[in-house]
Amino acid sequence: MISSTYRHINRYRAIIAILVKYGFGEVLAKLELQKHLEFGKGKSFVLGETAAEIAAVSHWARVRMALEELGPTFVKFGQMMSTRSDMIPHELITELEKLQEEVPPFSTEDAKRIIAEELNSSVDRIFMDFSGSSIAAASIAQVHKAVLPGGEEVAVKIQRPDIDKIIEADLEIMLHLATLAEKYLKETEAIDIVKLVEEFARVIRKELNFRIEAAYIERFANNFRDDTTIHVPKVYNGFSSGKVLTMEFIGGYKVTDITKTEVREHGIDPKVVASRGLDLILKQIFEHGFFHADPHPGNIRVLDGNVICFLDYGMMGRLSARHREDLADIFIGIISRDEHKITKTILKLTGRSHVRDVEELESDIAELIEVYAYGSLKELEIGGVITHMGDVIIEHHLEGPRDFYLLAKALVTIEGVGRELDPEFNAAKHAEPFAKKLIMDRMSPRRLIKDFYHSATEASVLVRDFPAEAREILTLLKQGEANIKFEHRGLDPMLKTFDQITNRMVFAIVLASLVIGSALIVLSGVPPKWHEIPVIGIVGFLGAGIMGFGLLFSILRHGKM
């Protein structure tokens, strides 16, 4: 990993310079980078001073500013971390949510070159018309408007030149820094930072593959094929590749503009849009288990007839059927004020059968119910409930599903949009029927028959395979090839103490031998001598004295005689 980082040494130096600029030189010093890297012949890593105007900015704001200057990979990482309230402070989350991808568009010539390379034909042959300027630019791609040979208006999303190489270089450096942080920074002990970077690498590499986003859009469209309240952009696979995504051009109105009088005159009703938007998100969560994880205002367009269209399907979340049912149980448990039911559901949701102090967990759940359930249903914030639930899960050292926090962010975002459009917006009123329907479906005869069928199938497989597996185990036992693994917990301190005792005993034996040997040499009168005393004996006694005082000092320092 270190050798691969040397290939990007200039980028490494640029990253370090930015981190020092924003006041994180002390952290870099703790990572002992000089021990692991040399910054070119005759050059070394020198920590500079942070400018006074930057030092005056709050710590978390400087983190956000540094990420913005570090570029697209780090901005994306910050955006991902803004969903992890289980790992980072709320003050930092507030700053990370401000991260902006303000990047200039790349040239139209580069865009046309990439399209030609990806689709094996020139832009003039592929499109009847191609906009010379981009209509949107982000850190990974930009969008141009075009017209297909059949006359369809499309939006062509084109990946930035060499962005994949830039991101790969940054990922290598991030992984190296994460490894050093895990080794040298105590602050990272509670976070598996290496695993976090590896998970981010997996996510962003998927985002770089536009074929995956195209598949997400088609799956999303299939889920809503009979719903007239939503429009999903059509993907033109024949004009798409891993770095080019061609889809239907969406006009309509920005969701933030529909409260304006000139827009409302076209029949757009903000209250209807707010209601439909939440219903669509809830349907994605409770019915499909496949939801748009970033429904911020810039990703929502409103078409004539109050039809809603989501844009940018690069970040999608998933919930299994079991997790959806658990979520419904939690929501109904809050409304019915049943902390015992919620506690059991949380343990099931996190895959744990028990915790160290169940009563304390139930007490925290009761406190959550007091906060959310005793007000009016209108004031109940679903996103707030899920976020608070995540805090409780982390506080008790439990681990929620991977997309649990994406879900919380999506709900908080769409509730915020809804309240902007409709001051009387009631999120809980919309969510209650979805949760109750999911719970009732669990008890339907069709579902019970299906569950019984799956259980019977698994039982038949177990009965069928048991004789062969039992025979295999007996054969291994006969041949002496069976290995039984025991895991001892809590023995490490005892083993460490045992090692210390053994080392001291060996040290004492060597010391005693040295004293006895030196005494015998003195008595034998072996030359050379100093004042009629053999020199070898004197050296032996001095060595024994030094070793003895060293052992005594070690025992006294640890406070154990």
Residues in the chain: 561
CB 430 within 8 A of CB 422: no
- Residues 191 and 193: their CA atoms lie apart, in Å, by 5
Mark whether 294 is an active-site residue: yes
DSSP lists the bridge partners of residue 307 as: 303
Nearest of 390, 371, 381, 440 to residue 412 by alpha carbon? 381
Joined together, the tokens standing for residue 195 give 């695993």
Question: E strands of 227-328, at which residues?
Answer: 244-248, 253-254, 290-292, 300-303, 307-310, 316-318
CB 180 within 8 A of CB 31: yes
Euclidean distance between the first and the last CA atom of the chain, given in angstroms as a whole number: 46
Nearest of 385, 391, 368, 366 to residue 432 by alpha carbon? 385
- Residues 333 and 178: their CA atoms lie apart, in Å, by 40
CB 138 within 8 A of CB 103: yes
In a 3-state reduction of DSSP, which class is residue 535? helix
Q: Which residues of 80-91 are buried (b: 16+ CB within 10 A; e: fewer)?
A: bbbbbbbbbeee
Q: Where are the alpha helices (DSSP H) in 22-100?
A: 25-30, 33-36, 52-55, 59-70, 72-81, 90-96
Joined together, the tokens standing for residue 13 give 């130096």
Residues 162, 167, 169: CA angle, nearest 5 degrees: 100
The one catalytic residue among 294, 329, 364, 422: 294
Nearest of 432, 286, 459, 288 to residue 373 by alpha carbon? 432
DSSP lists the bridge partners of residue 303 as: 307
Nearest of 408, 10, 405, 409 to residue 199 by alpha carbon? 405
- Residues 449 and 91: their CA atoms lie apart, in Å, by 49
The catalytic residues are 294
